[in-house]
Amino acid sequence: MDVLLENWRPILQAFGVTVEMMLAAGLIAMLVGSLLAAMRVSPIPLARAFGTGYVWTVRNTPLLVIMVLFAFGLPEIEVRPELNLNSWLGLETSHRLLNFNVFFIFATAALGLYTAAFVCEALRSGINSVHLGQAEAARAVGMTFTQTLRHIVLPQAFRAVIAPLASVLIAMTKNTSVAVGVGVTEATFMMRKLTNDNATALIAIFLGFALGYMVLVAIISAIANFLERKVKVA
Amino acid sequence: MRFTRTKAVLAVTGLALSLAACGGDDGGPDIEVEAADNLTGVAKELSDRGSIKIGVKYDQPGIGNLEPGSDDPVGFDIEMGKIIAGNLGIAEDDIEWVETISDNREKYLQDGTVDLVIASYSITDERRQVVGQAGPYYVTGQQLLIRKDSEGEINGPDDLANVKVCSVEGSTSLQRVEDEYGASPVPFGTYSECVDQLENKTVDAVTTDGAILLGYAAQNPDELVVVGDAFSEENYGIGYKKDAEGMCEFINETLEESFDDGTWEDAFQATLGGDDVETPEVPELDPCA
């Protein structure tokens, strides 16, 4: 117990990295996933084929393989993105949470693009749950494909996908821990660091970190519950 | 059941003895398999059981490493395990190797999953509160591996502030460069992954015990070099269940014998040693409490 209390600052910082990764990867996953879902239901054969191909490839590849591919493949072609917000914001003291190094960016991009395939499928199942007659009616009153999707289908589909989307994002949150193997100093990294140093408090450390992840997941669940109640049809 | 097992052990022991006489085909030391005659307590129990479970690392070249596709791990820790087992009268074939990672070494000893841990297990006071640690059988220190093109910029740990330094996740080495020298830590799963990242210029240094780094520098002498003096002292010990009677004395005696008769040196030469690596002085053993 003492170990956790004494190290609360570095632990909090490590969970900060996890949260950053979760938010950034979540954003990528939602954007790319929505785009893919639109492609998969679009009338353009090429777009449909691309969407199907993406989901098929990415969903059938283990996450660690994708992360390793990014972390070892991209430097070979001289791609090493860094984003240091400290210098960008002109801060005097450098804060580690504002310095996104190459490994954070690789792992986050990999996690986001991986999760996008699952987001796409969750959204597509939602879209499929909207009766075809709805889309036909929209087209009959002269709406374009984009308008039909935006005003008629997606608002109804959204209601059906909240629960599966929350599951996807929860899985993604826990998947951030895979990144410790490709150079990211997130929460699991801190846990390994503490367990190596404190042989007498292993169980307390494990439970403490498990609790940390549970809190993050609980926040996602709470947001999902809130949204579900909000868009419920009476 | 018990009798057949004992017989089988005797048969295997005899076979191993005759094989051992032929000399080490695998390049390792010749290890005599014969139980010491003054065994007591847990050491005696193990010897009577005729088999032993030893926890080792599977991912540290030269120390304890399981090559993809092979059945048994190889390395200095493994040879030490064979020497200890041999002195209990347990042949190589009756040793069950169990992979331990840094997190589960104490747990495995406490719940009896393994009888011994020989897994680059540094002796610390903290660990000695929960398990027994005999030895040290090897003393090493942390060093830095860098690319030749950054020679002159990185000369030692004091040049590491905000430098990306790679090591294995959860290792003491990575912790030290972060906490004491302000390096930016980069955890990876294995040392070879770290060396890859060093070669492709994504990190600027790899750190761990010098012996391991020398091995990687030897594989790629045109590009990689080990710089600076060791800036830590790690005493590798042999872990056993706390308060296991007779174990510490037995292990220390066995180690002392192996220092004297040259098997320790042979084990080092066959694993961590190489053309550029001198065999170190034998370490001084901690007395048993």
CA distance B84 to chain A (A): 25
Structural domain contains residue B3: no
CA distance B102 to chain A (A): 6
H helix or E strand, kind and range, residue B98: strand B95-99
If asked whether residues B72 and B186 sit together in one domain, one would say no
Predicted pLDDT of residue B7? 56
User: Can you tell me the ipTM of this complex?
Assistant: 0.79
CA distance A109 to chain B (A): 17
Structural domain contains residue B15: no
Length of chain A: 234
Structural domain contains residue B5: no
- Whether A193 sits inside 8 A of B188 (CB atoms) is no
Structural domain contains residue A230: no
Task: Tell me the CATH number at A174.
Answer: 1.10.3720.10
- Whether B185 sits inside 8 A of A72 (CB atoms) is no
If asked whether residues B107 and B56 sit together in one domain, one would say yes
Closest CB to B169: pick one of A192, A198, A202: A192
CA distance A214 to chain B (A): 21
**Domain span including residue B62:** 38-137+239-271
Q: How is residue B150 annotated by DSSP? A: G
- Whether A80 sits inside 8 A of B174 (CB atoms) is no
Structural domain contains residue A206: no
Structural domain contains residue A82: yes
- Whether B200 sits inside 8 A of A193 (CB atoms) is no
Structural domain contains residue B287: no
Structural domain contains residue A213: no
Instruction: Look at chain A and report how many structural domains it folds into.
Output: 1
CA of B163: which chain A residue's CA is closest?
A: A101
Structural domain contains residue A135: yes
If asked whether residues B219 and B247 sit together in one domain, one would say no
- Whether A101 sits inside 8 A of B126 (CB atoms) is no
Structural domain contains residue A63: yes
Structural domain contains residue B202: yes
Residues in chain B within 8 Å Cβ distance of A72: 193, 196-197, 200
If asked whether residues B208 and B256 sit together in one domain, one would say no
Structural domain contains residue B283: no
If asked whether residues B117 and B70 sit together in one domain, one would say yes
If asked whether residues B167 and B223 sit together in one domain, one would say yes
If asked whether residues B163 and B99 sit together in one domain, one would say no
If asked whether residues B223 and B245 sit together in one domain, one would say no
If asked whether residues B130 and B46 sit together in one domain, one would say yes
Task: Tell which residue, A198, A31, A10, A16, has the closest CA to residue A116.
Answer: A31
Residue with tokens 């051992």: B20
CA distance B189 to chain A (A): 5
If asked whether residues B42 and B74 sit together in one domain, one would say yes
If asked whether residues B66 and B121 sit together in one domain, one would say yes
Instruction: Look at chain B and report how many structural domains it folds into.
Output: 2
Structural domain contains residue B114: yes
If asked whether residues B54 and B131 sit together in one domain, one would say yes
- Whether A181 sits inside 8 A of B201 (CB atoms) is no
Structural domain contains residue B21: no
Structural domain contains residue A233: no
- Tokens encoding B43: 């050491």
- A96, A191, A197: best to mutate for the B interface, most B CBs within 10 A: A197
pLDDT of A123 higher than 60: yes
pLDDT of chain B along its 289 residues, tens only? 555 555 555 555 555 554 444 443 455 677 777 777 778 888 888 888 888 999 998 877 788 888 888 888 998 899 999 999 988 888 888 899 999 987 788 889 999 899 999 998 888 888 888 899 997 999 888 999 999 998 888 888 899 988 999 998 878 888 899 989 989 999 998 888 899 999 989 999 999 888 778 778 877 888 899 898 888 888 899 999 888 888 888 899 899 988 998 889 888 888 877 666 677 788 888 888 7
Task: Tell me the CATH number at B50.
Answer: 3.40.190.10
**Domain span including residue A168:** 16-182
